[in-house]
Structure 1
Amino acid sequence: MPSQNSATQHGQFSPAHIRATWSGTASVEEAAQAFGLSRSKSYDLVRRGEFPCRVLRIGRATRIVTASLLRVLESGEPEYNTVDTRHSTLP
């Protein structure tokens, strides 16, 4: 039987709770907890461009796009930071 603390933590990172309480971006640490990953593993995935949702680098800060995190949690399909070349006007 899960402890009350783990049940509380699960609820804290449920899509409904995230949608209601998080802002437009989250820290890597918050996103790591939502995915059940360690902080160091998450930063390693960010560094390699393999974090499962959209990552913003703003100066020296790294933020996770909350809407992307929610889509990944709900669908199970990762959204990597890739460039969509279907609509590109570059030669």
Structure 2
Amino acid sequence: MPSQSGETPHGQFSPEHIRATWSGTASVEDAAQAFGLSRSKSYDLVRRGEFPCRVLPIGRTARVVTASLLRVLESGEPEYNGASSASPNPS
């Protein structure tokens, strides 16, 4: 359902709200809404390994790591699933 008139998804999907109400993982659909992406675009990014935050494949489904989602929302920097091996952190 669409959000109420005048209400932005940022309130429901703000880092504070997510931190207070979400568990350790979230559905791809919920994470997509937090990023303002469509469901189909999100699953396409998951399949390509380019979803903005860490995704755990569990059988035929996928779960988004809430801590990773929060870091991306707060920093604006994506954490692709293979990003840590591609570009190591400076020491």
- Give the aligned length: 83
Please state whether the residue corresponding to 2:85 is helix, strand or coil: coil
Q: How does the TM-score come out when normalised to structure 2?
A: 0.83
Q: Does 1:60 align with 2:60?
A: yes
> Structure 1: 5+ residue runs without aligned partners?
87-91
**Aligned partner of 1:33: which letter?**
Q
In the TM superposition, residue 60 of structure 1 has moved relative to its aligned partner by: 1.3
Match of 1:89 in 2: none
What does residue range 37-56 of structure 1 map to in structure 2 within 5 Å? 37-56=37-56
Q: How does the TM-score come out when normalised to structure 1?
A: 0.83
Consecutive aligned runs of 4 or more in structure 1 exceeding 4 Å deviation: none
In the TM superposition, residue 84 of structure 1 has moved relative to its aligned partner by: 3.2
Match of 2:33 in 1: 33
Identity %: 82
Structure 1: distance between partners of 2:34 and 2:58: 22
Please state whether the residue corresponding to 1:26 is helix, strand or coil: strand
Structure 2: distance between partners of 1:78 and 1:10: 18
> Structure 2: 5+ residue runs without aligned partners?
none
Greater Rg by CA: 1
What does residue range 1-91 of structure 1 map to in structure 2 within 5 Å? 3-4=5-6, 6-7=7-8, 9-82=9-82, 84=85
